[in-house]
Amino acid sequence: MKMVSESDGSLPAVGSEGRAFGALLTYIRRQRGLDYGQYKESFLCRRLAVRMRAQGADTYQAYLGVLCSDEAELDALFTALSINVSYFFRDRVAFDALRHAVLTTLIAERSRARQRRLTVWSAGCAAGEEPYSVAMILTDLLGSALSRWELQIHATDIDTDVLARARRGVYKATSFQDLQVDFVERYFAQSGDRYTLQPAIRQLVAFRWHNLTTPPLLPRYDLILCRNVLIYFPRQHQERIVHHLLDHLEMGGCLMLGMVEMLPLALYSRLEAVDGRLRIYRKVKRKT
């Protein structure tokens, strides 16, 4: 039997421990409605090993017993499996392109069509830095015309704790690695080591719990950001997730992935690159 008290994140062995690993994922799915069986096993094993050591469980079977009897440990595991590393304007070059090549263009197109409406979905939003960054850019671009536009920025995640933090809009200096000083001064109020986002920016973003593979709040969005999320899924599931995102993207709308993520080859016929290096794409009619 594979012992994991000193696990380095290696995959579970076949046999009883392999079956226990599967049973553990089934239990999580039944309790929380999330299919972690779609994640890379190496990622799952590393995160599980941390919680197993904390509970003194030497095997997956033993740890499953802990989960079944301790709701608090199930919460702790759920938090450990959620990825919430972010900061404002993460990958500054990518956000500059988002501002100039995507949002400026969408605003101009909607203005010409006299349709002052933009919808944005930040999928896997963590503590809110990404959708709030978009809100600040739109506020900056629209200026005094902001009140004449209907903006809907939806931000979703599977971690209720980080969603609660995001709604509060209070951050530490570590969230400002790539944020220009003037944005901090304009949109935040500092108190000690805490920075509180202005209510006007917070009100532009609606945070919701959401499983990435289920339908979002709106049927179509002008911009979908799904950055640094796909890397935690095996390749075959990445393609299915991006298919799902594109089904909810307006024709001519844009999809932005993380800079380390690759667009599945099967989906190139549905998109054209706005900036392929920065993983920004526009939805086009299917090529025949």
Per-residue tens of pLDDT for the chain, all 288 residues: 233 333 444 555 556 778 888 898 888 888 766 667 767 788 889 889 999 999 999 999 999 999 999 989 988 887 787 666 688 998 899 999 999 999 999 999 999 999 999 999 999 999 999 999 999 999 999 999 999 999 999 999 988 989 999 999 999 998 998 777 788 999 999 999 999 999 999 999 999 999 888 899 999 999 999 998 887 787 778 888 999 999 999 999 999 998 878 888 888 899 999 999 899 999 997 765
Q: Do domains 16-81 and 92-283 have the same CATH topology?
A: no
What's the number of CA atoms in the CB half-sphere (13 Å) around residue 36?
Answer: 27
The correct CATH number of 92-283 out of 3.40.190.10, 3.40.50.2000, 3.40.50.300, 3.40.50.150 is 3.40.50.150
pLDDT of residue 7: 42
Residues forming a β-bridge with 134:
none
Provide the CATH topology of domain 16-81: Chemotaxis Receptor Methyltransferase Cher; domain 1 (1.10.155)
Q: Assess contact for 41 and 35: CB atoms under 8 A.
A: no
Residue 197 backbone phi and psi in degrees, to 5: -70, 140
Q: What is the pTM for the complete model shown? A: 0.80
Q: Which long-range CB contacts under 8 A does 283-288 form with residues at least 24 apart?
A: 283/246, 283/249, 283/250, 283/251, 283/252, 283/253, 283/254, 283/255, 284/251, 284/252, 285/251
| In the chain, domain spans | 16-81, 92-283
The first and second tokens of residue 127, run together, are 């503590």
The first and second tokens of residue 210, run together, are 């959401």
Interatomic CA distance for residues 146 and 139, integer angstroms:
6
pLDDT of residue 33: 65
Looking only at the bridges linking them, the beta strands covering 280-283 and 249-257 are antiparallel
pLDDT of residue 6: 35
